[in-house]
Amino acid sequence: MDYEQLYQQMQSLEKELKDKLSAMQRTLKNISKNSDKGDLKNLSKDLSLMIGFIKDYENLAADYQSLTEGFDTGTYMESGDFAKQISMYCENLSVDIKGEYPVYEMFPHKVKIDSENQELYIDRKKVQCARPQYFVKTIKQSQDKLNKATFNVTAFLNELAEAYAAAIRYKEKMGGSMKSGHDVLLKDLYQFLVPMQRFRREYDIQSYAFDLARLYNSDAEFTKDGRRFEFGPSRHSSKLIRILDQDGKEQFLGTIRFFAPEI
| C-alpha–C-alpha distance, residues 43 and 140, integer Å | 53
The verdict on 52 and 82 lying in the same domain is: no
The verdict on 126 and 188 lying in the same domain is: no
- Structural domain ending residue among the three candidates 124, 148, 172: 148
Look at residue 58 and tell me whether its pLDDT is greater than 90.
Answer: yes
Average pLDDT across the chain, whole number: 94
> DSSP states of 110-135 as a string?
EEEEETTTTEEEETTEEE----HHHH
- Structural domain ending residue among the three candidates 25, 46, 71: 71
- Structural domain ending residue among the three candidates 148, 163, 179: 148
Long-range contacts, 250-255 (Cβ 8 Å, 24+): 250/96, 250/98, 250/107, 251/216, 253/186, 253/212, 253/216, 254/183, 254/185, 254/186, 255/183, 255/184, 255/185, 255/186, 255/231
The verdict on 62 and 87 lying in the same domain is: no
Which percentage of the chain shows pLDDT scores above 70? Answer: 99
pLDDT tens-digit profile of 245-255?
Answer: 999 899 999 99
| C-alpha–C-alpha distance, residues 226 and 215, integer Å | 17
User: Residue 245: its pLDDT value, please?
Assistant: 93
The pTM of the full predicted model, rounded to 2 decimals, is 0.82
Look at residue 197 and tell me whether its pLDDT is greater than 80.
Answer: yes
| C-alpha–C-alpha distance, residues 57 and 65, integer Å | 12
Alpha-helical regions (H) of 149-204: 153-173, 186-193
Question: Mean pLDDT over residues 107-114, rounded?
Answer: 94
H or E, element range at 80: none
The verdict on 66 and 81 lying in the same domain is: no
User: Residue 263: its pLDDT value, please?
Assistant: 60
Residue 213's closest CA among 67, 54, 103, 107?
A: 107
Q: How far apart are the first and last CA of the chain?
A: 68
The verdict on 129 and 190 lying in the same domain is: no
| C-alpha–C-alpha distance, residues 203 and 167, integer Å | 19
The verdict on 94 and 187 lying in the same domain is: no
Q: For the chain, what's the residue count? A: 263
Look at residue 22 and tell me whether its pLDDT is greater than 80.
Answer: yes
Question: Mean pLDDT over residues 60-78, rounded?
Answer: 95
Contacts of 10 (CB under 8 A, 6+ apart): 64, 67, 68
Range of the domain at 11: 3-71
| C-alpha–C-alpha distance, residues 238 and 235, integer Å | 9
Look at residue 98 and tell me whether its pLDDT is greater than 70.
Answer: yes
The verdict on 43 and 137 lying in the same domain is: no
Band of residue 139 on the pLDDT scale cut at 50, 70, 90: very high
| C-alpha–C-alpha distance, residues 130 and 135, integer Å | 8
User: Residue 201: its pLDDT value, please?
Assistant: 85
The domain tally of the chain equals 3
pLDDT tens-digit profile of 144-194?
Answer: 999 899 999 999 999 999 999 999 999 888 776 777 889 999 999 999 999
